[in-house]
Amino acid sequence: FFAWFRPVMHTPDSVLIEKIGFDATLFIQFIRMIRRMLYFMTFIGVCVTIPINIVATSYTGEWPPSPGVEFLSISTINYYDGKFHGSNGDLNWYWCHAAGTWLYSLIIYVFLWKFYASYVQFRQQYFESDEYQKSMHARSLMVFNVPPSMRSDEALGNWVHSLGLKYPAQQVCIGTQNTDLAKYVEEHEEAVRKLEIILSNHLKDGQVIEGKKRPLERIGGYFGCCGGVKVDAINYYSEKVQELQEKITEARSRISTSKKTNYGWISYDKVSWAHANAKYLASSSSPLKSLPKRIEGTTPSIELAPQPKDIIWSNLSLNEHVKRTKRLIVTFIFYGFVFFWFIPSSFLSASSNVKDFLRLFPGSTQFMKEHKTFVSLLSSWFTPIIMAIFFFILPKILRFMSQQQGYMTGTSLDRQVLAKLFIFFIINNLLVFTVSSTLIAVYAEIQKAVENGTTLTAQQFFSTMSGNLTQVAKNLSDVSTYWVNYVSLKGLGVIVDLAQIVVLLTVTLSELRLISRIMIEFTRPTAFDYPLFYNVLLFFFTVGLIYSVIAPLVLPFTMLYFLLATMVFKYLLMYVFVTAVETGGQIWRLLFNRLLVSTVLFQVIMIGVLNLKSARIPSLAVAPLPLITILFKIICSRRFDNKVYYYTPKIESTAAARYDQDYKNGDNNARKAKNSIGFRFGDPAFFAELPVPMVHERVRHLLPKL
């Protein structure tokens, strides 16, 4: 039962790269890096910061402290008689928190620098791998925004030759497109699936009964229930599949007359040649920069070619104006969506601070006295559970938005989804959540004064607000209890992921078990959702980092989560999931930038918290950190970025030399057919094998009786 445990714990990265690929290995390395950072941060937080908070509270705050864990945080220092006393308190204690902010920032810089340096070697190892060296896309470039006058193989080839690149092209090819054919292929697949479902439902008893009512399908109606005519579903979809297959065959026979598109490809004999030319074209001395800004209304560009199976063909032919417009519109929609979600997020945040929320209603004091258990459960678990369900559908919404922006590959879509998820979670699941909880506490204090019959003048109101703003830092740490519960709940979720209970139940209890295609799809390895899981890791690290100094109790729970995540995700990637498209860890730079954003956010919050605590000098001591983080980003970009995007071998690698030898020794005609970029990079609608209806073998013998 635990035979998987030893391989998971002891398999080295070199073996993981060979067995599960570079992207999966990078994911495991990323978790490991954060976990090791948290070892140091947790040790400092638990063994240094928490004891200092306790001692400081005993000298400057209420002692013995009130029930709870608040005295372990920064909030109870100089806090007594129900209010914060900053002006006449001992502010020297806050130097510990300023030093902690510096120390945690330095830990992050050191780990990120070391990881980035190792990532350079990681990327070069990917470029030199046999799989990459033998792939067609590795030695190809893609041309975008081709003007109409260059939309032929010969014209595009002449233009590429005119650029004066160092290495000559082996082949230049313009793309082709047939929108009708793509529509036919999509409709054919949909019709095949519907026919399979209908046959499965009709034959689920395992026999064909004479006189049994055959399934009907409403054609031409509204919403599938009004108007139209009912026809025999089996005959209708059988005929539709046959009709579409004939249309596809006829359209494919006219491939040479298909519409030429605004994109094309350039292939080279060697991977290093393609990368060298791509690097030169992206440099400041690129001949593309000396061209007229627009050629026939477009601006041609050349980049490394993506893998054919990674391309989103429906977005590939969009011109630059359409892409720019769609991205602008969807960006506005996305940020509108982020702020619209403020309403349910605020409600959930209010329920995390139940006592303050209930005080907004009359008779709440008596209710809380009579239902202490209910209020306690509501405060601890209701909001985390609802939020987990609430955000389950979010990645699907954001993926749809990103696809509408016109991104051309599935992996670039993944990176956009991750970027949007991170923004959404930080704004709506952390900042708004925490700030709204704080504002509700402030509002409750003001309402309490009003209910007591106190008349507030404008001067008194602003005086009260000023006093309440000093409570913001305390309320921030009070909300940390919620995040401890949330992280604990997600830790339990990681264990559930290990068991794969949902997948097991889905396959076991599915009523569609007679549909062979669906069963095959259920049981084949699932593609790992990198954006979703990376976002979860980034979010929890951000939570732990932000509260690392304010409320260090969050740190051991965050560390425990990453400890479990290391084992669970390594198991899942070794035995359950697969990588849909291998990119060699190209997502790292996005992760690096998001980690630095989290670091700056942590530093800015600490500057604000120390200011609210009246610790002006410690706050000034922390103030340079955001600028240092930005400088660190610039240094890393200049030091590493060019080395991770392009293959720059000092000498020809063994893999490249072996591939070149195979290339020279191979049959010339067969090689040309196999490596033709027109074939390799063609729209799948022109070449993909069409699916045929499948039924379970247990009822296959009944088909002739239909």
Are 456 and 490 in a shared domain? yes
Query: According to the model, what pLDDT value does residue 640 have?
Result: 92
Q: Is residue 60 part of a domain?
A: yes
Q: Is residue 58 part of a domain?
A: yes
Question: Taking a C-beta distance cutoff of 8 angstroms, is the pair 145, 300 a contact?
Answer: yes
- DSSP characters for 100-125? HHHHHHHHHHHHHHHHHHHHHHHHHH
Q: Is residue 452 part of a domain?
A: yes
Are 280 and 296 in a shared domain? yes
Q: How far apart are CA 305 and CA 173, in angstroms?
A: 13
- DSSP characters for 14-38? HHHHHHH-HHHHHHHHHHHHHHHHH
Q: How far apart are CA 37 and CA 41, in angstroms?
A: 6
Q: Is residue 559 part of a domain?
A: yes
The residue range of the domain holding 202 is 180-254+688-705
Please count the other Cβ atoms lying within 10 Å of the Cβ belonging to residue 452.
7
Are 172 and 185 in a shared domain? no
Are 125 and 155 in a shared domain? no
CATH of residue 142: 3.30.70.330
Strands 83-84 and 79-80: antiparallel
Are 150 and 235 in a shared domain? no
Structural domains in the chain (count): 3
Whether the link from the prior residue into 287 is cis, omega within 30° of 0, is no
Joined together, the tokens standing for residue 150 give 């260059």
Query: According to the model, what pLDDT value does residue 554 have?
Result: 87
Q: Is residue 674 part of a domain?
A: no
Are 244 and 273 in a shared domain? no
Distance set, CA 25 to CA 272, 444, 585 (Å): 25, 50, 8
- DSSP characters for 403-432? HHTT--BHHHHHHHHHHHHHHHHHIIIIIH
Query: With a threshold of 0.75, does the pTM exceed it?
Result: yes
CA-closest candidate to residue 566, choices 32, 15, 6, 8: 32
State the angle between helix axes of 342-352 and 320-340 in degrees (0 to 180), rounded to the nearest 10: 30
Give pLDDT < 50 ranges for the chain.
511-512, 659, 663-675
Question: Taking a C-beta distance cutoff of 8 angstroms, is the pair 626, 603 a contact?
Answer: yes
Tracing tokens 């330095």 back to the chain, one arrives at 106
Tracing tokens 């209806």 back to the chain, one arrives at 693
Are 484 and 575 in a shared domain? yes
Q: Is residue 381 part of a domain?
A: yes
Joined together, the tokens standing for residue 553 give 């109790």
Are 638 and 538 in a shared domain? yes
Q: Is residue 677 part of a domain?
A: no
CB within 8 Å of 54: residues ≥ 6 apart = 71, 72
pLDDT of 220-271, one tens digit each?
A: 766 556 667 888 888 888 889 899 999 888 888 877 777 888 899 999 999 9
Q: Is residue 243 part of a domain?
A: yes
Helix/strand/coil percent split, the chain, to 5:
70, 5, 25
Are 693 and 597 in a shared domain? no
Please count the other Cβ atoms lying within 10 Å of the Cβ belonging to residue 10.
8
Are 166 and 185 in a shared domain? no
Q: How far apart are CA 417 and CA 587, in angstroms?
A: 12
Are 373 and 443 in a shared domain? yes
State the angle between helix axes of 554-575 and 480-499 in degrees (0 to 180), rounded to the nearest 10: 20
Are 265 and 240 in a shared domain? no
Joined together, the tokens standing for residue 120 give 């350079």
